[in-house]
Structure 1
């Protein structure tokens, strides 16, 4: 009884702090906006209070062309992107270790590069008409400062979507890794209604966190510390920590994540998990990924009893504990490959994953 009261109190406090418009919220989340540039700090404060758009986040519309050497001119501010009757795809990238809270405001050039770093192959597949996606959908891409809280980024993503789409649109979100958590905050009842969101595809999203974002898991393993330290030292990264509270979770000693617990509890009560299809990468052999970090991460997770993962996110976490509308396992794709990023753009793993995502959207209108 006491524990339930405490949980309800925490839920109330989190959403009161995050979603109110009182100036004191800036002091609570001041570390989100620490900057040596006072103009940057002021701009971020005004954005957080809802008085200006956040300069570190942006929604772009994508113009297909012919060259695989994508030009920045193909990415247009969504407010100026031509409107059509097509359905809308919105890609949301995951964690970006290259930026910190204290960095200057991200330029458009850097924003576009952040998008390409995650979704370059997917953009090319779309451009080249893979599974006829470009004939049926307009493609948008959302980018944000990942070191900031998922609560902050999710609320601002809500405002961005609300400003750019109408209730008569049909919008489908494809979110990789942390992007799926940001999207879950966006669609939570506490944020507000977005009736035009028909479905969300999550690709290797740590719905129940990742051990590599949990200090207790890192321990004395030098590689694990190198892999995980860039996560836990920021607010956004720390909110990726593993939680034992998820459905069907393997227990990790001392693991907890109150932010994800509150968010997931809210989704269970509201029934919103039925808007999500979750894709999980599973390396059957820890040498089959294309990225050394994720292959090594796979081995570390295996040795800790997590025998199915993409090298950073365990399968049950990526599957949302079998609570999403549908769970799809993808064989022998590491965490980066789960965003269509293979060394060879024409790799069948990348092509087939893209096609499968588009097919799932078509099958769940």
Structure 2
């Protein structure tokens, strides 16, 4: 167990705060992944709350391969109209969007698709261009949701969408980045309902034991740091990304707890459900200079100085690997949190291409 070294932590956090504030753009902290919302329909939200309509902020799309790396919105077809085939299905689900709030207008299709592309465009291009013959063997789907909502709510909605979109004879494989892995774990938990067609889940840098950066006690008592923490995780969904001290191999943070993850992880242990999960963890170099974004490199340094010596700049290795309790754990060297969704600046970067290959290989070789 490692105590949080406050002096070093504060220095690096002040550096991070200064850059974000002086650039007047807090979204830059995660600029490679997220966008905002722009349309409102209170009536639709009310009907969704009553269970009379699907939540308008979540949707499942099928992906139609094209010929250009400039992916168009027309390549994303609502799953209701996507042609069904005998191929196996891969569903990509993205992670947390700190720009979202429950009070934001409803996300229209254009923004939903942009959110997906911001996370997975490189992976979609690899699929489109026939890497590892994935397009001949699999159909690709993508799921998007409002991440400010509780993972418990989003997980139930994801379960309902899966149940309505596939049959028990389908072979479905889920590839989940970051928070998407937690939403998937809720959707497949024994309390929600068994989905026999989901054969395997691959998590990419999912904070299965949470992240220190979503933990108020980790950020300290400085009011500026609290403002940043409140902005980034000041929603129900964001708060449920917080670090838990419970779990095999966990580093202790004073005052940290996450009852949602604790209950979810215990239920998986009780029901022996971890055996269908393969967990990938990003492990940046000790020097913390192997990421493509300064903010993730800085995050890596902050975590290193707090005793989390292996991370992707946001999620510690042990958290991403669920304390080695999943069916299989795989480390990806020198990749930051965004790169763990195939998102390298250069689409042809070997780190992006190799990660895609490894994910497809794990699915192809799945015993289920």
TM bucket normalised to smaller: 0.7 to 0.9
Structure 2 unmatched ranges of 5 or more: 1-38
Q: Deviation at 1:224?
A: 6.0
The structure, 1 or 2, with the larger RCO (C-alpha pairs under 8 Å, 6+ apart) is 2
- What is the SS of the residue equivalent to 1:202? strand
- Retained in 1: the 8 A contact 2:98–2:233? no
Task: Give the Cα–Cα distance (whole angstroms) in 1 for the partners of residues 226 and 340 of structure 2.
Answer: 23
User: Which has the larger share of helix?
Assistant: 1
- Residues 280, 223 of structure 1: alpha-carbon distance in 2 compared, 3 angstrom cutoff: farther
Aligned residue-pair number: 330
Q: How does 1:263-274 map to 2 (within 5 A)?
A: 263-274=264-275
Task: Give the Cα–Cα distance (whole angstroms) in 2 for the partners of residues 296 and 104 of structure 1.
Answer: 33
Q: Please state if 1:172 is matched with 2:173.
A: yes
Q: How does 1:270-281 map to 2 (within 5 A)?
A: 270-281=271-282
Task: Give the Cα–Cα distance (whole angstroms) in 1 for the partners of residues 159 and 84 of structure 2.
Answer: 19
Q: How does 1:56-135 map to 2 (within 5 A)?
A: 56-135=57-136
| 1:262-305 Cα distance to aligned partner (Å, 9 max, x none) | 10011000111001000000001311100111110000001111
Q: Deviation at 1:227?
A: 6.1
Q: Deviation at 1:45?
A: 3.4
Q: Which residue of 2 aligns with 1:138?
A: 139
Q: Which residue of 2 aligns with 1:342?
A: 344
TM-score where L is the length of structure 2: 0.87
Task: Give the Cα–Cα distance (whole angstroms) in 2 for the partners of residues 319 and 260 of structure 1.
Answer: 14
- Retained in 2: the 8 A contact 1:212–1:227? no
Task: Give the Cα–Cα distance (whole angstroms) in 1 for the partners of residues 352 and 227 of structure 2.
Answer: 28
- Retained in 1: the 8 A contact 2:204–2:281? yes
Q: Which residue of 2 aligns with 1:258?
A: 259
| 1:106-138 Cα distance to aligned partner (Å, 9 max, x none) | 000000000001001001000001111100000
Q: How large is the Cα RMSD of the aligned pairs? A: 1.8
- Residues 166, 177 of structure 1: alpha-carbon distance in 2 compared, 3 angstrom cutoff: same
- Retained in 2: the 8 A contact 1:180–1:202? yes
Q: Which residue of 2 aligns with 1:354?
A: 356
Task: Give the Cα–Cα distance (whole angstroms) in 1 for the partners of residues 90 and 228 of structure 2.
Answer: 31
Q: Which residue of 1 aligns with 2:21?
A: none
TM-score where L is the length of structure 1: 0.87
- Retained in 2: the 8 A contact 1:209–1:241? yes
- What is the SS of the residue equivalent to 2:169? coil
Q: Deviation at 1:248?
A: 1.4
- Retained in 2: the 8 A contact 1:212–1:228? yes
Task: Give the Cα–Cα distance (whole angstroms) in 2 for the partners of residues 240 and 322 of structure 1.
Answer: 19
- What is the SS of the residue equivalent to 2:41? helix
Task: Give the Cα–Cα distance (whole angstroms) in 1 for the partners of residues 326 and 225 of structure 2.
Answer: 30
Q: Which residue of 2 aligns with 1:187?
A: 188
Structure 1 unmatched ranges of 5 or more: 1-36
**Which stretch of structure 1 is more off in the superposition, 264-273 or 93-102?**
93-102
